[in-house]
Amino acid sequence: QNYLDNFWPDLKAAHELFDSILQARRERESESQENNGKEYPEHLPMEILEAGIKSGRYIQGTLNVNKHRAQLEAFVRLQGFGSKETG
Protein backbone atom coordinates (compact mmCIF):
# COMPACT_ATOMS: atom_id res chain seq x y z
CA GLN A 1 0.00 0.00 0.00
CA ASN A 2 2.79 2.43 0.91
CA TYR A 3 4.58 1.76 -2.37
CA LEU A 4 1.46 2.54 -4.40
CA ASP A 5 0.69 5.63 -2.34
CA ASN A 6 4.21 7.00 -2.63
CA PHE A 7 5.14 6.13 -6.21
CA TRP A 8 1.84 5.64 -8.06
CA PRO A 9 -0.75 7.81 -6.29
CA ASP A 10 -2.73 8.46 -9.49
CA LEU A 11 -2.75 4.88 -10.83
CA LYS A 12 -6.36 4.05 -9.94
CA ALA A 13 -6.33 0.53 -11.48
CA ALA A 14 -3.35 -0.53 -9.36
CA HIS A 15 -5.02 0.73 -6.18
CA GLU A 16 -8.24 -1.10 -7.06
CA LEU A 17 -6.30 -4.31 -7.75
CA PHE A 18 -4.47 -3.99 -4.43
CA ASP A 19 -7.76 -3.47 -2.58
CA SER A 20 -9.27 -6.49 -4.33
CA ILE A 21 -6.32 -8.73 -3.40
CA LEU A 22 -6.38 -7.48 0.18
CA GLN A 23 -10.12 -8.21 0.47
CA ALA A 24 -9.70 -11.72 -0.97
CA ARG A 25 -6.88 -12.41 1.48
CA ARG A 26 -9.01 -11.24 4.41
CA GLU A 27 -11.89 -13.47 3.29
CA ARG A 28 -9.58 -16.49 2.99
CA GLU A 29 -8.14 -15.84 6.46
CA SER A 30 -11.66 -15.53 7.85
CA GLU A 31 -12.70 -18.82 6.25
CA SER A 32 -9.54 -20.46 7.57
CA GLN A 33 -10.38 -19.32 11.10
CA GLU A 34 -13.92 -20.68 10.74
CA ASN A 35 -12.43 -24.05 9.72
CA ASN A 36 -10.07 -24.05 12.73
CA GLY A 37 -7.06 -23.13 10.60
CA LYS A 38 -7.68 -25.87 8.03
CA GLU A 39 -7.65 -24.89 4.38
CA TYR A 40 -10.32 -27.45 3.45
CA PRO A 41 -13.33 -28.59 5.46
CA GLU A 42 -13.09 -32.05 6.97
CA HIS A 43 -14.60 -35.09 5.30
CA LEU A 44 -17.95 -36.36 6.45
CA PRO A 45 -17.88 -38.97 9.22
CA MET A 46 -17.86 -42.58 7.98
CA GLU A 47 -21.31 -43.37 9.40
CA ILE A 48 -22.87 -40.49 7.43
CA LEU A 49 -21.10 -41.61 4.25
CA GLU A 50 -22.22 -45.23 4.69
CA ALA A 51 -25.83 -44.15 5.31
CA GLY A 52 -25.68 -41.84 2.28
CA ILE A 53 -24.36 -44.64 0.06
CA LYS A 54 -27.13 -46.99 1.23
CA SER A 55 -29.80 -44.34 0.64
CA GLY A 56 -28.46 -43.48 -2.82
CA ARG A 57 -27.54 -39.90 -1.90
CA TYR A 58 -23.83 -40.65 -2.44
CA ILE A 59 -22.06 -43.03 -4.79
CA GLN A 60 -18.96 -45.08 -4.12
CA GLY A 61 -16.29 -45.76 -6.68
CA THR A 62 -12.74 -45.25 -7.80
CA LEU A 63 -11.59 -41.84 -8.99
CA ASN A 64 -9.67 -42.05 -12.25
CA VAL A 65 -7.75 -38.96 -13.38
CA ASN A 66 -6.17 -38.55 -16.80
CA LYS A 67 -2.46 -38.05 -16.05
CA HIS A 68 -2.00 -35.94 -19.17
CA ARG A 69 -5.07 -33.75 -18.65
CA ALA A 70 -5.52 -33.95 -14.88
CA GLN A 71 -7.17 -30.54 -14.54
CA LEU A 72 -9.65 -31.27 -17.32
CA GLU A 73 -10.46 -34.95 -17.34
CA ALA A 74 -11.46 -37.32 -14.55
CA PHE A 75 -14.27 -39.74 -13.81
CA VAL A 76 -15.53 -42.05 -11.07
CA ARG A 77 -15.80 -45.73 -11.92
CA LEU A 78 -18.71 -47.08 -9.88
CA GLN A 79 -18.17 -50.32 -8.05
CA GLY A 80 -19.96 -53.15 -9.79
CA PHE A 81 -20.32 -51.27 -13.09
CA GLY A 82 -18.07 -51.52 -16.13
CA SER A 83 -16.12 -54.44 -14.78
CA LYS A 84 -15.01 -57.23 -17.08
CA GLU A 85 -15.36 -59.74 -14.27
CA THR A 86 -18.39 -61.99 -14.34
CA GLY A 87 -19.62 -63.40 -11.16
pLDDT in tens, 19-42: 999 998 888 777 777 666 666 667
Instruction: Please report the DSSP string for 7-54 in residue order.
Output: H-TT-HHHHHHHHHHHHHHHHHHHHHHHTTT-SSPPPPPHHHHHHHHH
- pLDDT of 87 reads 41
Q: Is residue 83 part of a domain?
A: no
Q: How many domains, the chain?
A: 1
- pLDDT of 41 reads 65
For residue 50, the Cα-to-chain-centroid distance in whole angstroms is 23
Q: Which domain holds residue 25?
A: 1-78
Q: Is residue 86 part of a domain?
A: no
Whole-model pTM over 0.85: no
Q: Is residue 43 part of a domain?
A: yes
